[in-house]
Amino acid sequence: MRLKFWGVRGSLPIPGKETLNYGGNTSCVEIDTGRKNETIIIDAGSGIKGLGQDLMDRGFCNENGIGYLFLSHYHLDHILGFPFFAPFFAKGENKNSFTIYGPKTKNDSLKEIINHLISAPFFPLSLNRLSAVLDFKEINPGEVIELPDMNISTERLNHPGGGLAYRFDSNNISVAYVTDTEPLNENKADSMIAGLVKNADVLIYDATYTPEEYVNKKGWGHSTWRHGITLANEASVKKLVLFHHDLDYSDERLAQIEKIAKKEFKDVEMAKEGMEIKL
Ligand SMILES: [Zn+2]
Ligand SMILES: [Zn+2]
C-alpha cells in the first residue's frame, strides 16, 4: 500500500510563495493498492485535481478504471475539487466506475448534494454530464464497508454538521483518516475515535490549530497537533501525520510546529503536498 497526499490544507486553497513547501491545496489523500486500474481516494478537496491528472497519465482509464471515493463530510474544502477530477470525464470505449461514500445527512441525499455542487448556479454541469458511472452510498457512523482486499471502519466526527472518520485495513496494514474533528476533552482521547485508530500504522489527524490558538477557537470543530499526540499515545498509533493545516499558517510556521511536535512523539510528520508513505 502507498499513501500520497495531494491536498493537506483546511478551509480554502492557498497558493503562493508562503505555502510552496507544505502546499496550498485542500484535503485529498490517495491510497494506492498497487492495482493499475483501481484507486481509493479520501476527500475531494482541490488536491484531487492533481490526482486525477496523475491517474490519467498512469493509464487508469485504459481498462475500465474502478474508483472508491470516501468523503469525510460536505464542507466545501473537502468536495470543491469534485468537478475537476479528469477520470469522471474521460472519453473512449472504456468506462470508469466510481463508488462515492459519504455520511448520511438528515436532509439531502449524497447524490443530491454532489449534483447541487456541480449544477447552476455554482457550476455549469449536472451528474448526467459525467462519462463515468457513479454509485452513491450513504454511511452511518459505525458501519463497515467491505472492498476486495480491504475493510473500512467508520466513526462519528465531532464537527459542525457531523462527518465520518475512516479506518482502512488491508493485509495487516491500517491507515486512519480523522479530520475535521474537535476533542470532547482537550487532554484525553475521545474513546470512540481512540477505538477506531487503535494500533494503526498511520493516523492522519486534524491538527488545524496550535494549542495556544485553539483556546480562541473552541467549538469550531477542529483539533491541535498536541491532541493528535495524546490520541496517538493512548491508541498506540505508530506514525502520526498532522493534517488539515490552517489556511493562515505559512511554511515557516508549519516547520516550527513540526519541530516542536517531533520532540513530543517519536514518529510524527507534518503532511506535505506530494508526500508519499509506503507501507
Ligand atoms: Zn475541512
Ligand atoms: Zn469541515
Distance (angstroms) between ligand 1 centre and the Cα of 228 equals 16
Ligand number nearest to the C-alpha of 161: 2
* CA 158–ligand 2 middle distance (angstroms): 10
pLDDT for res 210: 97
Q: How does pLDDT run across 26-65, given as a tens digit for each residue?
A: 999 999 998 889 999 999 999 999 999 999 999 988 889 9
Please answer whether residues 196 and 155 qualify as being in contact, where contact means their C-beta atoms are separated by less than 8 angstroms: yes
User: Looking at residue 91, what is its pLDDT?
Assistant: 85
Instruction: With beta carbons less than 8 A apart as the criterion, state whether 182 and 189 touch.
Output: no
Is it true that domain 2-278 has CATH number 3.40.50.740?
no
Q: What is the pTM of this model?
A: 0.97
Ligand nearest the Cα atom of residue 244:
1
What residue ranges do the domains of the chain occupy?
A: 2-278
Strands (E), the chain: 2-7, 28-32, 38-42, 66-70, 97-103, 133-139, 144-147, 150-156, 164-170, 173-178, 202-206, 239-243, 268-270, 276-278
pLDDT in the model for residue 158: 97
Report the percentage of the chain scoring pLDDT > 90. Answer: 94
Mean pLDDT of the chain: 96
Q: Determine the Cα–Cα distance for residues 31 and 5; give it in Å rounded to an integer.
A: 9
Cα of 166 to ligand 2 centre, how many Å?
A: 15
Predicted confidence (pLDDT) per residue in 139-164, tens digit: 999 999 999 899 999 999 999 999 99
pLDDT score recorded for residue 94 = 78
DSSP string, 217-277: -TTSS--BHHHHHHHHHHTT-SEEEEESB-TT--HHHHHHHHHHHHHH-TTEEE--TT-EE
Least distant ligand from the CA of 80: 1
